[in-house]
């Protein structure tokens, strides 16, 4: 059933997210799509990028989605750390669409190559501890997404950068990553491992000799001698770059707070997803980061919202179990109807077990009753989604909302992305208003 025909009140204008002015505004340079995993961030980011490009802007979409859905939907064989131009868009307004997928390790390698001389870069890139760190250290993906965003913005090659944040356990991980990496670089272990290099001269080394021997001995037992040596070599080689990591992380964090950045929180109309969205809204406010609104994704609708679940169930029961008042001739009809218990005619034989006789076709009443029950289930789902949405909007009435209908299947191409973008910009609430 189509959501377009739902007879319902609109959300008040103050709470409707207006997508096109946001995308059209040349002052909007970065749109960050964030939210918990599995709510449609990647599809939303791609749809926004497509719409902005077809309205005349030069756009790059940065995804961190390892499932490669973005590449498939944009007709690209694969995405990597280099922006690729998307073909097949309507470029009559002069826009362009590019897409890329974050390669976490390659981004880390690029940072090393850009900020260390050739010999030191080779030592770092070949270090076993660095290879493990760059491939999977906790928070590295989120931090490298921030690094890549900073790189793209500094090139000033695109009018608009749309970021699909990592599929983290928590949406807040994206904001916390720079601080976590900074804490790691400033941590006690790093300071201990750097201490011998920081203290110059024979006297300094003699002073540290006993303490460092005890410390490295303990660490050697904990980490293993070869790993400890790899870590010490890595830290010594990276020492001159640690400050650069913190500086760039701070700069990107300030970029996220700038007026040209807009955060869109993406959520499904489910309790856990909207609770996570509420946490993120509150965190953005605390960090003074600009929130554009909430995209409520995969919302269910009905073309027959005036028929309540209760009425649908009552009608289904009426069809399935007719009562006396529903007999064609009332009580007289019941009295005059054949009584199997008082009749001398034998009952109709039941089909013998094991015969191939097909099941009887369901009657029109049975089919109608089944459809009524399906409709009742749908209306219960709508009611639950509406209550969940209304709890969020009551808690955060200042947050503008755009609702996007649940589609029957996944989005696989530009046509599907364009459909999502049209729904995002349609100002049409999918859920019926309460009351």
Residue 421 in this model has a pLDDT that exceeds 70: yes
What span, in angstroms and rounded, lies between the C-alpha atoms of 39 and 392? 16
* Residue 235: alpha-carbon gap to chain centroid: 35
Cα–Cα distance, 7 to 408 (Å, whole number)? 21
For 249-279, the pLDDT digits (tens) are 788 888 888 999 999 999 999 988 898 889 8
pLDDT band at 191 (very low <50, low <70, confident <90, very high): low
**401-405/96-101 β-pairing:** unpaired
- Look at residues 314, 386, 399 and name the one whose alpha carbon lies nearest to residue 15: 399
93-102, 145-154, 190-199, 223-232: the lowest-pLDDT one: 190-199
Contact between residue 178 and residue 185 where contact means Cβ atoms under 8 Å apart: no
Q: Going by DSSP bridges, is the β-strand pair 84-85/96-101 parallel, antiparallel, or unpaired?
A: antiparallel
**Which tens digits make up the pLDDT trace of 114-167?**
888 888 888 888 888 777 777 666 567 777 788 888 888 888 899 999 998 876
Q: Place 248 in a pLDDT band, splitting at 50, 70 and 90.
A: confident
Q: What is the mean pLDDT of residues 420-426?
A: 89
The pLDDT of 309-315, averaged and rounded, is 82
pLDDT of residue 227: 63
The region, left, alpha or beta by phi > 0 then psi within -120 to 50, assigned to residue 333 is alpha
Rounded Cα–Cα distance for residues 326 and 392 (Å): 45
Strands ordered across the beta sheet of 84-85: 84-85, 96-101, 58-63, 160-164, 30-34, 261-267, 291-299, 401-405
C-alpha distances in angstroms, 69 versus 36, 101, 174, 301? Answer: 17, 10, 21, 26
Looking at residues 186-193, what average pLDDT do you find?
56
Query: What's the pLDDT score for residue 161?
Result: 95
What pLDDT digit, counting tens, does each position of 4-61 carry?
Answer: 333 343 444 447 899 999 999 999 999 999 888 788 888 899 999 999 999 999 999 9
pLDDT in tens, 329-377: 544 444 454 444 444 445 555 555 555 666 678 788 888 888 888 888 8
Contact 264, 295 (CB under 8 A): yes
pLDDT for residue 294? 94
Strand spans (E) along 66-106: 84-85, 96-101
Residue bearing the bigger pLDDT, 180 or 29: 29
Helix boundaries (H) for 55-127: 69-73, 104-115, 118-125
């Amino acid at each position: 059933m189509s959501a377009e025909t739902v007879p319902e009140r609109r959300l008040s204008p103050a709470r409707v997210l207006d997508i096109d002015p946001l995308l059209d505004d040349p002052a909007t340079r970065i749109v960050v799509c964030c939210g918990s995993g599995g709510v449609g961030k990647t599809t939303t980011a791609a749809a926004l990028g497509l719409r902005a490009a077809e309205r005349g802007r030069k756009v790059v979409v940065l995804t961190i989605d390892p499932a490669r859905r973005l590449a498939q939907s944009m007709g690209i064989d694969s995405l990597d750390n280099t922006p690729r131009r998307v073909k097949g868009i309507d470029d009559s307004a002069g826009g362009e669409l590019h897409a890329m997928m974050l390669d976490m390790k390659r981004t880390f390698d690029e940072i090393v190559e850009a900020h260390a001389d050739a010999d030191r870069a080779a030592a770092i890139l070949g270090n076993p501890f660095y290879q493990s760190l760059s491939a999977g250290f906790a928070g590295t993906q989120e931090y490298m997404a921030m690094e890549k965003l900073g790189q793209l913005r500094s090139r000033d090659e695109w009018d608009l950068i749309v970021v699909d944040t990592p599929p983290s356990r928590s949406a807040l991980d994206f904001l916390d990553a720079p601080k976590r990496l900074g804490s790691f670089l400033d941590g006690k272990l790093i300071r201990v491992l750097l201490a011998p290099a920081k203290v110059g001269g024979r006297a300094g080394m003699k002073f540290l000799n006993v303490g460092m021997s005890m410390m490295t001995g303990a660490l050697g037992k904990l980490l293993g001698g070869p790993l400890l040596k790899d870590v010490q070599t890595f830290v010594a080689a990276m020492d001159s770059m640690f400050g650069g990591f913190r500086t760039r992380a701070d700069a990107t964090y300030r970029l996220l707070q700038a007026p040209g950045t807009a955060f869109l929180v993406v959520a499904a109309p489910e309790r856990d997803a909207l609770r996570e969205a509420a946490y993120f809204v509150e965190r953005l406010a605390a960090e003074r980061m600009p929130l554009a609104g909430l995209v409520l994704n995969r919302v269910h609708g009905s073309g027959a919202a005036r028929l309540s679940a209760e009425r649908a169930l009552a009608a289904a029961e009426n069809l399935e179990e007719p009562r006396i008042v529903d007999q064609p001739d009332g009580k007289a009809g019941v009295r005059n109807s054949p009584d199997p218990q008082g009749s001398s005619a034998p009952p109709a034989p039941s089909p013998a077990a094991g015969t191939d006789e097909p099941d009887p076709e369901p009657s029109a009443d049975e089919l109608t009753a089944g459809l009524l029950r399906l409709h009742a289930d749908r209306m219960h789902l709508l009611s639950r989604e509406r209550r969940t949405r209304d709890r969020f909007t009551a808690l955060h009435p200042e947050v503008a909302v755009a609702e996007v209908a649940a589609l029957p299947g996944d989005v696989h191409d530009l046509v599907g992305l364009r459909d999502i973008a049209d729904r995002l910009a349609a100002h049409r609430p999918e859920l019926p208003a309460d009351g």
